[in-house]
Amino acid sequence: MPKKVLLITPPYHCGVLESAGSWMPLGMVYVAGSLQNSGYDVKIYDAMTKFRTFDDIRKYITEYSPDAIGTAAYTSSLYDAISVLRIAKEVNPSIITILGGIHSNFCWEEILQKEGKIIDFIVRGEGEITTTELLNNVFAGKEPVVPGIAYSMHGKIIVTKERPLIKDLDSLPAAWDLIEWKDYSFKTKKNSILAVVSSSRGCTQKCTFCSQRLFWKEKWRGRSPENFVAELEYLNKTYGVDVAMIADETPTFNRERWEKILDLLIEKKLDIEILMETRVDDILRDKDIMYKYSAAGILHIYVGAESASQDTLDRYNKNLKIEQSKEAIDLINNEGIISETSFVLGMPDETPSSIDAAIKLAKYYNPDLAFFLAIAPWPYSDIYKELSSYIEEFDYSKYNLIEPIVKPVNMTREELNKHLLRAFREFYMDKLSTIEEMSEFKKNYMIDVTRLLINDSYLANQMRGEMPPEAKKFMEKYIR
């Protein structure tokens, strides 16, 4: 009988991601594919998307009776991930427990010092090859000494050498057959089937608040255009996927490769709408081929503006000028594509006036969607040392870009939170006052987004606050 491996998402929620859609755990799809190829019986239990409780998780583990359980965590979901593995050990102490993800990649020592009896192994870096090799050794009774892990043995924490980044991303198998497709949809498109896909891995930028470029060691690798587009075609024809979110930080990094992807998508005329993010620089670079973006089915593009202050942008190492963001968003808008940006606020020198400037700049940029986020100083980020003396919140579950962690010099965190909510309200109320000037597509999209923000997001209560007369009329006319 093949060994059974269960991959479980921690049931963490903060009212952000789930407000727009349900997003499959792509990392687990890849790890599961590698395990399947090695003969394991694998299941993915997406407790997060299914809104399952810890009791539900306990019951599922008991019924499936796996030999190994793996989960992954970013900083704010860490406690829930640990709780999943604790439950596994309570159900059966012999179950092998594995933790991966961004936070444990950097903070493995702290985690193992506290939870070494619950977590057998931490996978550092990419998990596909490491997890498979690790379990092969464990179940064969060999020493678990493979590159890219950390573990506790006899009270001593052991860390092995780093595993090199995977060179050939085209070679990675994906266990799409394990996905319960009915669980995944993009809420602004009724009856849609949503896939999360990856065309590349990595980022070469040096943004001081970001975790991704540290995880990928400031390197970038891309799948071949043919391989990536063939996967989209397969998902469309096999599972009916009609919306795909590209999870890459910079899918557009290589102009020649990216244009080839666009050309293939145009040629194949796939019935798929694509959501993506990229850098302002790449949109400016591609101004002559923006028509290919829309022709290829690009529906929605996010670019990070991050701050209304050039000084703060420089502190973030964004390598970006304010006017560049405006030009990039104009290019996206002019092509009829949904534009989105964000502002990371709450630095120690933040004031009501600087937040006013961010609101003013957001309106000037004129994206369709803008988000005003509270900086979360990940304990492994470059900016952590600068902010450490201003941190008032040490509960990792609140490091979700919503709840202020840092106390500005001239505001309390509660005051900062009120100003962030005010920024959301003022931006969207201003945006909705121009709803009748939008194209029919954008008008309908904004109506759907507003409905989601009001009814399904963490902003729900605040969005029902004081509103201009124009916005009230909009609510009465469009939002039921």
pLDDT at 429: 87
Half-sphere exposure of 5 (CA within 13 A, CB side): 28
CA 321 to CA 138: how far, in whole Å? 51
Per-residue pLDDT at 479? 61
Position 160, amino acid: T
- Per-residue pLDDT, averaged over 282-294, amounts to 97
Which one of 51-65, 338-352, 413-427, 446-460 scores highest in mean pLDDT?
A: 51-65
> CB atoms < 10 A from the CB of 178, how many?
18
pLDDT in tens, 416-436: 999 999 998 899 888 888 888
Please give the average per-residue pLDDT across 330-346, as a whole number: 94
CB 261 within 8 A of CB 228: yes
pLDDT band at 170 (very low <50, low <70, confident <90, very high): very high
Side-by-side strand order, sheet with 243-246:
194-197, 243-246, 273-277, 298-302, 338-345, 369-374
CA distances from 337 to 268, 296, 341, 433 (A): 20, 11, 13, 20
The H-or-E segment that residue 101 falls in is none
Q: Where are the beta strands (DSSP E) in 125-259?
A: 149-153, 156-159, 194-197, 200-202, 220-222, 243-246
High-pLDDT (> 70) share of the chain, %: 87
Of the given ranges (163-177, 288-302, 307-321), which has the lowest mean pLDDT? 307-321
CB 206, CB 317: distance < 8 Å: yes
Given the DSSP bridges, would you call strands 200-202 and 220-222 parallel, antiparallel or unpaired? antiparallel
Between 305 and 11, residue with greater pLDDT: 11
Half-sphere exposure of 105 (CA within 13 A, CB side): 25
pLDDT at residue 115 in the model: 94
Which secondary-structure segment (H or E) carries 343?
A: strand 338-345
Answer whether residue 41 shows pLDDT above 80: yes
How many other β-carbons are positioned within 10 Å of the β-carbon of residue 369? Answer: 19
pLDDT at 466 over 60: no
Q: In this predicted structure, what is the pLDDT of residue 379?
A: 86
Please write the tens of the pLDDT for every residue from 312-321: 555 545 555 7
CA distances from 107 to 113, 391, 401 (A): 10, 18, 19
Q: Class of 4-159 per CATH?
A: alpha beta
Residues 6 or more apart from 359 whose CB is under 8 A from it? 372, 422, 423, 426, 427
Report pLDDT digits (tens) over 95-145. 999 999 988 888 999 999 999 999 999 999 999 999 999 999 999 999 898
Average pLDDT over all residues of the chain: 89
Q: Where are the domains of the chain?
A: 4-159, 169-478
Average confidence (pLDDT) over 9-21: 76
**Backbone CA torsion sign across 153, 159, 160, 165:** positive
Which of 134, 136, 125 has its CA nearest to residue 101?
125
Give the model's pLDDT for residue 344: 87
- Could you tell me the strand order of the sheet in which 96-100 lies? 41-45, 4-8, 68-72, 96-100, 121-123, 149-153, 156-159
By C-alpha distance, which of 298, 309, 310 is closest to 272? 298
pLDDT at residue number 160: 96
Q: Give the sign of the dihedral formed by CA 176, CA 181, CA 184, CA 190.
A: positive
Tens of pLDDT along 219-273? 789 999 999 999 999 999 999 999 999 999 899 999 999 999 999 999 999 999 9
Quick check: 108 and 122 in contact, CB under 8 A? yes
Task: Give the pLDDT band (50/70/90) at residue 462.
Answer: low
Q: Does residue 340 contact residue 300 with C-beta atoms inside 8 Å?
A: yes
| 49-104 per-position pLDDT tens digit | 999 999 999 999 999 999 999 999 999 999 999 999 999 999 999 999 999 998 88
The pLDDT of residue 323 is above 90: no
Q: Which two tokens stand for residue 10?
A: 């921690």
- Rounded to the nearest 10°, the torsion over CA 157, 12, 221, 235 is 130
Whether pLDDT at 208 is above 60: no
Q: Which two tokens stand for residue 330?
A: 């104009």
CATH level 3 topology of 169-478: pyruvate-formate lyase- activating enzyme (3.80.30)
Q: pTM for the complete prediction?
A: 0.90
Q: Between these two residues, 461 and 150, which has the higher pLDDT value?
A: 150
Residue 180 has pLDDT above 90, yes or no: yes
Question: In the prediction, which pLDDT does 220 show?
Answer: 85
Place of tokens 């064969």: 140
